[in-house]
Structure 1
């Protein structure tokens, strides 16, 4: 397991590698453009080369790009759908240029409309973005289930993959907070085993490509996406130990998005996660 954090590329794309290294991260996640703007960042070949060089000299083994939250691939609005396609395609192309493990995507929302129709629309946008890029993977992230968000269940994630053509480049990014919020137990060995069994039956664990590790302010089945610093929420230290030590996650990048320093991730948070993983592995061996 490659434990790391979401970091900022402010000041230059290569700065993300520096910030990840300072945290002791083995994996990093970045936005490839401002999360508050549609306009893609125009990186030069020098920017990309400097990133690749910095990465080659660092301990960062995996890089994820998070598509910006403005995207709604399932939108009924043609303008929003077109902007989502442009931004997603750009993210995939940047991912290819920097050797990213994948682009993580919130698939979108049906708003108050029909979820099935929104899944079909999202599938078309995702398929086109894959067709307009070459080899970077796209990881669909499960959602907490509020409103009409798409991907709140393994069944919906499977439907999105099918609607997008079931490309081998399509995978899953499972978020511990979102799983708990949408009603999946992740805090006990048996509960997590049942959750992953459901995932395997609906989607297949071969599509599991990355993880977000977030504690949750709100309890099981709340359908609310409210992150907490690791060990301080409803999942807690024991639950995070279970999640981090599951053998199905052994080779995956796991990204902490919310830390203890006013929401920012610190080196102490990364160290804590390593300790919780070691603790969880010891508990499993003793069981």
Structure 2
């Protein structure tokens, strides 16, 4: 299991690798630009080469890019969709350059109808993929209200179908979002049942990565509030279930926790994740 965390790319893409190594990561996730601005960071081929060289000299085996939060491929506003397409294409371009897959929040219908919003989003996903080469586009399950897309496995499947169902379309499951959206993941048995449902509706072959976060809010709250591992509604037993789940064994399992000082996941929390993994593996024997 490739346990890791989100790290900063400040100072250059290759600096993210060292930050991951310092925390004991086997996987890392980065933003390819400021997550709350449209303006892209224009990396060069030299930047990509430096990153790849740093990865080759490290124990890190998987890299994710999290696309910016402003993207809403489902928007009814043509200008927002145009900006979203350009930003998503840039994320996939950087992913191609450094060997990373791209995680994306599917978007929101806001106050419009969900069906047409899914169609709009799918068209943007498809165009962005057609103009890139290798990176997978992993749609993240979400938690929210109103027209937020991706709150159910059925919606994730519909989004993939709307984008053409190509082999480069996948899913990143977030433990906090699952619980908040009403999927029980607080024990080995509950997680097994939830993943069986995902397999039936979407297919485990589409699962490309996992975000591991505890949840400040309870089952079915529809509120996305991350908590440190073992300090929320999922609890140690649920987190241990994720970390020992055999279907996640070869995947990037990336923490996005607040950290003890609200500055992100620490090396200590990565070590704690490994201890919970051992606990979960013992419970499965």
TM-score interval w.r.t. the shorter chain? over 0.9
* Partner of residue 218, structure 2: 219
3-state secondary structure, aligned to 1:14: helix
CA contact (8 A) 1:228 1:258 kept: yes
1:45 aligns with 2:45: yes
Structure-2 residue corresponding to 1:261: 260
Shift of 1:15: 0.6
Cα distance in 2 between the residues matched to 1:36 and 1:168 = 29
1:271 counterpart residue number:
271
| Alpha-carbon separation, structure 2, partners of 1:136 and 1:29 | 14
4+ residue runs of structure 1 moved beyond 2 angstroms?
Answer: 259-263
Q: CA RMSD in A?
A: 0.8
Structure 2 partner of 1:247: 246
Is the contact between residue 34 and residue 68 of structure 1 (CA under 8 Å) also seen in structure 2? yes
Instruction: State the partner residue of 1:183.
Output: 182
Long gaps (5+) in structure 1: none
Aligned residues: 284
Deviations 1:76-107 (A, max 9, x none): 0000000000010111111011011x100001
Tell whether 2:155 aligns with 1:156: yes
Q: TM-score, normalised by structure 1?
A: 0.98
Matches within 5 A, 1:1-287: 1-100=1-100, 102-263=101-262, 264-285=264-285
**Does the aligned pair in 1 maintain the 2:226–2:258 contact within 8 Å?**
no
The question of whether the paired residues in 2 share the 8 Å contact of 1:259 and 1:269 is answered with no
Distance 1:147 1:233 in 2: 24
Q: Deviations over 1:110-145 (max 9, x none)?
A: 001101110000000000000111111000000013
Supply the distance in 2 between the matched residues of 1:108 and 1:182 (Cα, whole angstroms): 16
